[in-house]
Amino acid sequence: MQRKIIHIDMDAFYASVEQRDNPELRGKPVAVGFDKERSVVCTASYEARKFGVRSALPSVTARKKCPELIFVKPHFEKYTLVSKQIREIFKEYTDLVEPLSLDEAYLDVTENKKNIASATQIAGEIKQKIKEVCGLTASAGVSYNKFLAKIASDYQKPDGLFVIKPEDAMPFIEELDIEKFFGIGKVTAQKMHKSGIHKGKDMKKLSETELTKLFGKQGNYYFNIARGIDERAVIAQRERKSLGTEFTFEKDLCYKFEVVTELYKIEKHLMEIIQKYNYFGKTLTLKVKYADFKQHTKSKTFTEDICEFKQLHKATKDLLNTVDFNDTNQKIRLLGLSVSNFSLSKPVEKQLELSLG
């Protein structure tokens, strides 16, 4: 069965958020980033792009290209919130959502929660909801694979909705400049030009062996995409619900001061991984396992995310005070601490090594 894939990408993401929140910036050339000697532009509003200002351009060069450019410092917490909001909108339609960054994702809507047959309709609805909920525009691409959906979302930016139907795919790819192919950077494009490959149709003339000889492992990918073939699945990333660390002691703990000392080490380690992986949550859970393997957990939810060690230490102390050591009359074999209730559920990027031992 033909798949239905949507690629969504917010328009001039950081800059649009800043323009949304400050009407004085609307309609003006805006760069998000710092106007400093060694800084680069994170992104530019579409007004600034007319002057050639874009992501990763040194701020100094950007200023030269566009003297009236307005620099705005980034507000990452706002971008993270929007990211969460758009992912919630995607989830209304399917759980098969593969985020590529804060502002971009693939969705497989072949089967979807609303039983809508048309992927184009879903893409339109999503764009509308993003406008209503976030006050921002996104561009959507619809096709039967990731490669084409991504190209399609870029094709009519900003506020675009472009569909590449199976029957239109080949003529579209044949006329497409190879720079527009996802995964082909400047260097590869130059190499392709030298081999006489400028458009999709030039790439299609070469055999798989020739392409592999020229471009190594990528040759097979190029051979397929020149024919509109891309079987890569949309992979929904599992969302981490909690992040924690625990430790089983070689000798059971008998006294509260020992517990406090050991917990301090666990708190330190937990804070390290919270900050390393940016998992900020509001709920803290303390786990205590006794020598007889009976286990108690105590949780507390705070109004704010736990971001700093001071907060974590105070919260752990509060939780520890709710554990009645005298009552149990037991030695402790394991202690653990975890945070949950994250502000933004982040995909699991790496297998975390959580063991202290």
As annotated, the active-site residues are 104
Structural tokens at position 283: 């709920």
Residue 47 contacts ligand TTP per CB under 6 A: no
Q: Residue 305's binding partner, choosing from Mg ion, ligand TTP, none, with beta-carbon cut-off 5 to 8 A by kind? A: none
Please answer whether residues 295 and 313 qualify as being in contact, where contact means their C-beta atoms are separated by less than 8 angstroms. no
Determine, following the binding rule CB under 5 A, whether residue 18 of this chain makes contact with Mg ion: no
Determine which residue in the list 8, 14, 83, 274 makes contact with ligand TTP, applying CB under 6 A.
Answer: 14
Distance from C-alpha of 210 to C-alpha of 253, rounded to nearest angstrom: 67
Q: Which stretch binds Mg ion (CB under 5 A): 6-14, 72-80, 252-260, 348-356?
A: 6-14
Residue range at the interface with Mg ion (CB under 5 A); choices 102-110, 126-134, 231-239, 297-305: 102-110
Q: At a CB cut-off of 8 Å and minimum separation 6, what does 291 contact? A: 252, 330, 331, 332, 333
Read off the amino acid at residue 200. G
**CA–CA gap between residue 347 and residue 233 (Å, rounded):** 17
What sign has the CA pseudo-torsion 227, 5, 76, 130? positive
Does 161 contact ligand TTP by CB under 6 A? Answer: no
Backbone angles phi, psi at 94, to 5 degrees: -160, 155
Binding partner of 18, given Mg ion, ligand TTP, none, CB within 5-8 angstroms per partner class: none
Q: Which stretch binds ligand TTP (CB under 6 A): 4-12, 85-93, 282-290, 300-308?
A: 4-12
349 backbone dihedrals φ, ψ, rounded to 5°: -80, -40
Q: Tell me: does residue 144 bind Mg ion (CB under 5 A).
A: no
DSSP 345: P
> What is the distance between the alpha carbons of residues 104 and 142, in angstroms, rounded to a whole number?
14
Residue 122 C-beta: closest distance to ligand TTP, Å: 20
The binding track of 288-327 with respect to ligand TTP, each residue x by CB under 6 A or -, is ----------------------------------------
Strand partners, 140: 8, 161
Angle of the 166-175 helix axis to the 146-155 helix axis, nearest 10: 70
3-state secondary structure of 296: strand
Q: Is residue 136 a contact point for Mg ion (CB under 5 A)?
A: no
Interatomic CA distance for residues 57 and 299, integer angstroms: 47
Residue 55 interacts, among Mg ion, ligand TTP, none and using kind-specific CB cut-offs from 5 to 8 Å, with ligand TTP
| Minimum CB distance to Mg ion smaller for 98 or for 103 | 103
> What order do you get walking across the sheet with 332-342 strand by strand?
242-253, 332-342, 281-290, 295-301
Our finding on whether 11 is near ligand TTP (CB under 6 A) is yes
Are 136 and 82 within 8 A, CB to CB?
Answer: yes
Stretch that binds ligand TTP, among 97-105, 193-201, 276-284, 325-333 (CB under 6 A): 97-105
Using the rule CB under 6 A, which residue among 38, 56, 238, 293 binds ligand TTP? Answer: 56
CB of 150 to ligand TTP, least distance (A): 11
Length of the chain, in residues: 357
Stretch that binds Mg ion, among 10-18, 32-40, 53-61, 184-192 (CB under 5 A): 10-18
241 residue type, one letter: K
285 binds ligand TTP (CB under 6 A): no
Output the DSSP codes for 110-127. Answer: SS-TT--S-HHHHHHHHH
Contact with ligand TTP (CB under 6 A): which of 5, 8, 12, 270?
A: 12
Per CB under 6 A, the list member of 4, 7, 9, 90 interacting with ligand TTP is: 9
d(CA 109, CA 163): 14
Whether omega for the bond prior to residue 158 falls within 30 degrees of 0, making it cis, is: yes
Is 106 one of the binding residues for ligand TTP (CB under 6 A)?
no
Rounded to the nearest whole angstrom, what is the least distance from the CB of residue 287 to ligand TTP in the complex?
38
55 binds ligand TTP (CB under 6 A): yes
The 121-160 site mask, x for binding ligand TTP (CB under 6 A), equals ------------------------------------xx--
Q: Site residues (CB under 6 A) for ligand TTP?
A: 9-14, 42-43, 55-56, 101, 103-104, 157-158
